[in-house]
Amino acid sequence: MKTSGDSGFAFPDWAYKPESSPGSRQIQLWHFILELLRKEEYHDVIAWQGDYGEFVIKDPDEVARLWGARKCKPQMNYDKLSRALRYYYNKRILHKTKGKRFTYKFNFNKLVLVNYPFIDMGSGRGVPQSAPPVPTGGTHFRFPPSTPSDVLSSSEELRSPGMFSSVARRMARGSVSDCSDGTSTNSELEEAVGADERGVGPDRAFRGLLPPRLPHDSLFRVFGGGPNPAGLPRPAPRVHPDSLSPFPVSPCLDPGGLLPPTLSPALSMTPTPHLSYTPSPSLSSPMMGSHFSFNPEDMKHYLQAHTQSVYNYHLSPRAFLHYPNIIIPQPHRPTLEKPATHHLHAPPLPLSHSLSQHSGGGEEQHQQHPSPFKFKLQPPPLGRKQREAGSSLASSSSQSSSFTGSGQNAGPPKIKVEPISDIESEEEVEVTDISEEDELNHNDEKHEGDIFTPTARHHHHQLNNHHRANGNGSSLSAPPHSNHDDDPDDDEEVFKTPATPSIGSGSLAFPLIGLKSEPGHAAPISPGGTRCIPLKLRFKRRWSEDQKMEADGERDEAEDKKVRAEREEEVEGKREEAGRRVGEVENGGGRAGGSVILGLMLPPPPTQRRASSELQRATAQLSLENTGC
DNA sequence: CGCGGAAATC
DNA sequence: GATTTCCGCG
């Protein structure tokens, strides 16, 4: 296990799982990358390096080959593979480490959120809400939680009707396998899980609800619950993949292909034990297949955790989740178990220090290469190039129409107008903020901190200009999207939460909502501050973009690219208001807390591990699938 | 090398 | 939807 000293970053186990990709059945490139990364065998071709989540492709051709093999695309080459990787930029799953060749970095957040938005919090057992009780052990596969968090104890059971479905379902469904059959090779686990879920029936789900997004930390904490051993369902790791083929690759292996027992380097690695626990996801992959249910208890825990996170991060009140009936205690201080830990990791490896690197590294926006970022903005509709033909119809437009213009086109079909209420609600909800903030934060801190690194700084953020549209140049800059979009964007992508218009439906429509209204909750935050953090934190930020942008100050574009095209107009104004000072968040004393949190979030590179073997095993089982080409 | 648009595929 | 393929640009 361990070993790997290399680098180590461990991602949470779940990150490695194929199930992670909801939509598609086939293995996704990022999963594949993760797989490679976790295997020592491939360390010569690809390995973790630098900061958490950062990896370098040592042998691009080989990686491409492997990927091609996996996908049965013999023609694959690094150029293509890299295109695919670039494709992740928009999704924010990955971003490029500037200045370092063949070096990319994962954004944990996204991965987490996307794939495992909720995890089973369960208190323990993961009983599906609707489902029949599953005794823990058996059915769901859960990783042992490791989080120390005591914060929430979960003890209760749940059963409430939960609300969400989609997410849950997704999670549950896990499915998996890639190519060949849809079914999985693996497993039983999955099956089991699936069964539960299925049994439940998607329908049950409560549609309408939005899935909440949690910050990782929250997730972890929450979910992390106690250590539980319970259950991994089957230990039996079959394992052994061939050394030859990476993982599952072997096409056709059906049954067995599982992961090697080795844990991902990431996980295991960590030699440093100093922390006993690692907050990080690694261990905690609580989420896995379970589901989260909103039962009061759960919610309570959830919210609590969330709240805490908010405090810790000094997030804006908006961030607070609201759940009817449940009051969340506000933590004055984080109770974290972890004391110090700023960064938890001890760098066993030279690499680890990457933190320090930031400056050097590259990433960061700051200098380094001041490279001008190019914003790529695309002008509206230009006729694209169509290499081919030219047929043209020009027109189109949908995109551009934004601004007033209406001229004729006014409307793209899809404009989204949102009722204010919605918007607000969303804003309120904006849970996103958190993530965003997180992102922001880290930016500060380190370069990319993607996910973790919550340091709050002041960003002055530049949201500013959202270029108003028009202007000529404007085209360049992205058109304003409403913040709403932004976040939602994330959300959307990630969660796809549909907002419910009505909002209130009562209660729970979604816990998230409501923040605004509750002053009580909201207020707290930091000490010095007068107000809590501006609600308006939200703004964009985007990962990489941020980074890039930070330097400049503008950013936004990113999402936009596509997005913008789609919707453009939106309300421009709002966002403007909103934004701005987000950064303010004071940290207040936060550092300490922050650290801790960080700890939680960060998957510390080297540390941790302690995960139970169970975890590992579990992981192993999950493993990937292969394709049979 | 890396970016990203566009179209094609699956 | 997620790439794969192709390609021009910096």
Distance in angstroms, CA of A100 to C1' of C9?
21
Distance in angstroms, CA of A93 to C1' of C7?
25
Asked if A375 and A557 count as a contact pair (C-beta separation under 8 A), the reply is yes
Distance in angstroms, CA of A384 to C1' of B5?
8
Q: Which nucleotides of C are covered by protein (CB under 7 A)?
A: 1-7
Identify the residue whose tokens are 């189109």.
A396
Number of residues assigned to chain A: 629
The DSSP secondary-structure symbol of A268 reads: H
Residues near strand B (C-beta below 7 A) are A 60, 78-79, 82-83, 85-86, 89, 96, 98, 100-103, 376, 378, 382, 384-388, 561
| DSSP assignment string, A29-81 | HHHHHHHHHH-GGGGGTEEE-SSTTEEEES-HHHHHHHHHHHHT-TT--HHHH
Kindly determine whether the C-beta of residue A80 is less than 7 Å away from any atom of nucleic acid strand C: yes
Residue A323 tokens, joined? 């759940």
Look up the protein residue whose alpha carbon has the minimum distance to the C1' of C10. A374
Kindly determine whether the C-beta of residue A71 is less than 7 Å away from any atom of nucleic acid strand C: yes
Distance in angstroms, CA of A15 to C1' of B10?
24
| Structural element, H or E, at residue A115 | helix A108-115
Q: For chain A (length 629 residues), average pLDDT per consecutive 10?
A: 42 56 70 90 90 89 93 93 94 90 84 50 28 30 29 34 38 38 35 37 35 34 33 33 41 35 32 29 31 36 37 33 36 35 31 34 33 33 40 39 37 37 34 36 39 36 36 36 39 35 37 36 38 37 42 40 44 38 35 29 34 36 48
| Structural element, H or E, at residue A312 | helix A296-313
CA dist A522 to A154, A305, A535, A592, Å?
24, 15, 10, 22
Residue A406 tokens, joined? 């209406």
Distance in angstroms, CA of A418 to C1' of C8?
39
* Chain A window 269-288, residues with Cβ within 7 A of nucleic strand C: none
Identify the residue whose tokens are 């929250």.
A218
Nucleotide whose C1' lies closest to the alpha carbon of residue A60:
B1
Asked if A438 and A446 count as a contact pair (C-beta separation under 8 A), the reply is no
Identify the residue whose tokens are 């990476």.
A246
Instruction: Give the model's pLDDT for residue A521.
Output: 39
Residue A308 tokens, joined? 């805490």
CA dist A388 to A384, A395, A396, Å?
10, 17, 18
Q: Which nucleotides of B are covered by protein (CB under 7 A)?
A: 1-7
Look up the protein residue whose alpha carbon has the minimum distance to the C1' of B7. A386
Nucleotide whose C1' lies closest to the alpha carbon of residue A91:
C2
How far is residue A336's CA from residue A228's CA, in Å, rounded to a whole number?
19
| Structural element, H or E, at residue A426 | helix A420-429
State the helix-helix crossing angle for A188-200 and A166-173, rounded to 10 degrees: 150
* Chain A window 365-424, residues with Cβ within 7 A of nucleic strand C: 387
Nucleotide whose C1' lies closest to the alpha carbon of residue A114:
C1
How far is residue A535's CA from residue A226's CA, in Å, rounded to a whole number?
33
